Structure 1
Amino acid sequence: MKKVAQVLLVLFAISACSSSSKHPTVVHHTEPNLMINTDWIEDAGCPLTEYIPGHYSGLCSSESPLLELGCERIGVNHLLGGLPYPVVTCENYGLEPIGTDFTVVGCYLSYRTEAFLTFRDGAYQFIGKEEIKAMSVPIESPDEALSYVLASTNYYAMYGIEIDFYYDRFYFVNEIEDTFVEETKNGYLIHLFSDLEPQCGCEDHYTDAVEVLVDRDGNIKLVKSRHFYKFYACAD
């Protein structure tokens, strides 16, 4: 009986160790100094406010020409500043689809449709992934590569990562790095992050660290993916 108890204690200890969250160290990298010219957005009656560093958002006034296009709010991510033309997010919060350029994002309470918008040759234009690729290639610098992949995928960058256990985060790795871009003989290898489905409802929500390769012709390939952390939450 004593031996059985000892075995059970050992098995319990092994199980506890294998199921405990890791405490990763962070390797920090410098965020690129990218900027998007937003004068045309302000001039169109959509004043912007920075809500986190490098990210701006603003409601469009009732007389804004952008509102006439369906843009109730404009979102700006300055990490897209490596593209040859300014690319921002046009957001609409209506329940009815307003055009093929828009895609549905968010959950029940955060439901909206979004489209990419650019200002080119003095005109506002909705722009899709193929148009972004056409205007971006050849990819010839780390900044271009980063902006292009962010605009073409659902991956996102993270800088200044801090490890905490807010929302009872469970970490899977011993080390994690901020976003960085490495030039290779085949193009640019970019370290980014991805939120896995399901993103809505009461579930474990996973964030992965990914490595993506983009070549000069704008072809994007997922090279590596691994769980970074998870947490349980109800997202509506």
Structure 2
Amino acid sequence: MDLLFFEQFRYLQLNQAAADGDLPFVEQLASYADNRTLLIACQRGHAEIVHFLLMNCSQLDVEAGDPVHDRSPLGWACQKGHLEVARLLIEKYKCSLERTDEDGSTALHLACSGGHLDVARLLVQNSAHVDCRDHVGATPLYLASDAGYGDMVRFLLDDALASIDVSDDFGWTPLFLSVMNAQRSVCGNGVLHILLERGGDIHAATFTGDTPMKRAVVSGLLDPLYGILRTRPEEWETWHRG
């Protein structure tokens, strides 16, 4: 058998074993491991294999990203919701919580956009920056709001103390985005209610001058706004006078 072909075949076998969670076979072929092998194990959530590779393969870089997204092993573990892999990478291997991929997304962005509450909680407990912004200005709260993850939104606001009105590069706040989603019936009104109850600014203007209040009026979404306005005396008076 051609030596180069044999080496490539063994490398493919190793990566398949990493994907399948076959630790004994990974141990047998560890000399062929590279960063792709580590990324595969992290994507699939095999904590024992991740630990073995990092303990026994000095050639691996725990911060190296994949060639398509430049996403690190921790980024992939968080995006896929693999809590134990994320915990291992953070607590034992001290992976950076603020490393970004090609979109500017941190591990917390990826956990929140995927709705992985336990992973997000782990990141926040380890001092991940809660109000970090990606390349279009979106925060983890913005992404969780866009996806309609009510429990994640509550966690970010109530426990992680995220700033509620940080806007993206177009001036859209999580509240404005939630009004737009409710208008299109993308995620219902659950997140909209949460943001309103926690003081989201109904007058925060986008770069085109639109606001959550204006959009709600146009979209016929006054019921949730009406209930909240009655708990805000100054805004209630402004509403009545208008």
Q: TM-score range by the shorter chain?
A: under 0.3
Q: With structure 1 as the length reference, what TM-score do the two structures score?
A: 0.26
Q: TM-score, normalised by structure 2?
A: 0.25
Q: Which has the larger radius of gyration?
A: 2
| Greater strand content | 1
- Kindly indicate whether structure 1 or structure 2 has the higher relative contact order, using CA contacts under 8 Å at least 6 residues apart: 1
